[in-house]
Amino acid sequence: MSRFLRLLAAGSLAAALLAGCAGTQQGDYADDDTVGGPAAASRPDGRRPSHDPLIDAPYRAMMTCTSETPVTVLRRVKETTFACPDLGVSATIDEIRDAGWRMLSLDIGSDVESDDHVGFPVTIVVRKLF
């Protein structure tokens, strides 16, 4: 019996939520209201470039980036910032990947001591896929 009551209560709650949303129509809002999402000024728009060189780069472009600081046991590769002089940007591997680039090669240079830890300079070659 308690399972039946729980199902009945869940169904009633779902119906109440759906009924509250059903009255909302596109015409219920003034033209200057922003309903959900970013304001018009911060929305990307085809007339305005994104001004992000990583995203705006042509497809199939390749570039070489080098780590700004050596990778050590104190700092993971994921946290390391890479300088990409071809585009004039500095970004982490995650930022580069999220912009549509994929890694083609990773070269670990000879060890360098910094802050009493051995570190390695890293060079990556990436290609823009999307």
Render pLDDT for 77-98 as a digit per residue (tens, 0 to 9): 888 999 999 999 999 999 999 9
CA distance 20 to 73: 54
CA distance 127 to 66: 15
| 101 φ, ψ (degrees, to nearest 5) | -95, 145
The domain locations on the chain are: 2-42, 53-128
Q: Supply angle C-alpha 83, 59, 68, rounded to 5.
A: 5
Helix (H, G, I), strand (E, B) or coil at 54: helix
Bridge partners of residue 83, in order along the sequence: 66, 90
Render pLDDT for 17-65 as a digit per residue (tens, 0 to 9): 566 655 545 444 455 544 444 445 544 555 555 588 999 999 999 999 9
Bridge partners of residue 66, in order along the sequence: 83, 123
